[in-house]
Amino acid sequence: MITFSKYHALGNDYLVIDPRKTDLPMTPEVVRAICDRHHGVGSDGVLYGPTYTEGEPGVRIFNPDGGEAEKSGNGVRIFARYLVDEGYERSGSFVLRTAGGPVKIEVLDSQASLIRVDMGRITFDSELIPVRGPKREVIDEPLRIGDETYRVTCASIGNPHCVIPVDAVSKDMVMRLGPLVENHEAFPNRINLQIMKAIDAANIEIEIWERGAGYTLASGSSSCAAACAAHRLGLTGPQVTVHMPGGTIQVSIATDGHVFMTGTVTPVMRGVLLRSMEEMLRKLSLASF
C-alpha cells in the first residue's frame, strides 16, 4: 500500500513519502508520475524520508521533473511539520539533514504551523554556486540572456540561485526568462531564477522560476537568496520581508552569513493510492533498473 501526506507552504505544495510506511523506490519515473497534476496526485515535488544518520532525521527532496534538489526552504519547513505531526520529533528544536547540508529547525507554535529554519551560510562564490568562469563573487555582473543583457547576482544557500533586480516584477517576465536562465551555459548544474524588486529597506518582491519545477508561487530558498542579494547590493537591511504570489516569508541575515527563514506550513491531506496507480508506479520503478 502506498500512502502519502500532502502539505503546502504558501502555495508551494509537496508530497511526503515515508519509507517506513511505503516501500517504493523514488526513481525519476516514479517521481514524475506522482507529481503529474493530471494523471497523478500532483505536486511541486516529493519529500522522501525520514532516514536517520547518527540519530538525526534526513530528507531527500525531488523536483517534479524527477531530479533531486540539494535543499528547499519550503520543503524543509513542510518536512519538519510532518516529523512533528507523525511523532518523530517531539522537541521544539532539531536538526534536519539535506543533500545541501544540515538545517536547524525551530517550531514556533504548538501546531507546528510556523517554523523558523537556519538555512546555513550564503555564498556568492562562483565555484560553490557554481558559475562558469574565473573564481570570483558573482555580484552585479552582466549576463546575456536571449537578446538582452541583465545585471545578475548569483548565490548558493545549499542550492544555486540567480537574482535579477528589476523595476517591476511580473509572472510574464519570469516565465520568459526562467527557462533561458535555468539552462544557461553559465550554470553547469542549472539554476533557480528570481526577478526581484526592492520596495524599501525592509521589503522586496520576487517572482520565481525553480530549476526542475518551473513557475512557483513561493520558495523558501529563493526568498533567502533574493533577500541576501538585495542586502549585498545595498538595497535592504538584514531583516527582509519577501513578498511572493503565495504569501510572505521573513528572512534575517546574521553578521556571520547565516540566513534564517520564518514561514508557515499548512497540511492539505493524507491519502492512499488506488491499486491501479500503485501497480503502474511499481512497474515504473522496476523498469528503471
Q: Indicate the pLDDT class of residue 284, thresholds 50, 70 and 90.
A: confident
pLDDT by residue (tens digit) across 178-189?
Answer: 999 999 999 999
Please check the confidence at residue 289 and state whether its pLDDT lies above 60: no
Is the domain spanning 3-113+266-287 CATH 3.30.70.260? The answer is: no
Q: Indicate the pLDDT class of residue 205, thresholds 50, 70 and 90.
A: very high
39 vs 36, 125, 270, 277, CA distance in Å? 6, 41, 18, 9
Domain ranges of the chain: 3-113+266-287, 141-263
| 3-class secondary-structure state, position 272 | strand
User: Residues with Cβ < 8 Å from 247, sequence gap 6 or more?
Assistant: 10, 11, 218, 263, 264
Is 0.85 surpassed by the pTM of this model? yes
**Residue 122 and residue 257 in contact, taking contact as beta carbons nearer than 8 Å:** yes
Please check the confidence at residue 29 and state whether its pLDDT lies above 90: yes
- Mean pLDDT in residue range 117-133: 97
pLDDT by residue (tens digit) across 216-268?
Answer: 999 999 999 999 999 999 999 999 999 999 999 999 999 998 999 999 999 99
Helix 73-85 vs helix 220-232: crossing angle, to nearest 10: 140
Q: Indicate the pLDDT class of residue 137, thresholds 50, 70 and 90.
A: very high
Helices (H), 47-161: 73-85
3-113+266-287 against 141-263: fold identical: yes
How confident is the model at residue 288, as a pLDDT?
60
Q: How far apart are the first and last CA of the chain?
A: 21
CATH class of 141-263: alpha beta
How confident is the model at residue 18, as a pLDDT?
97
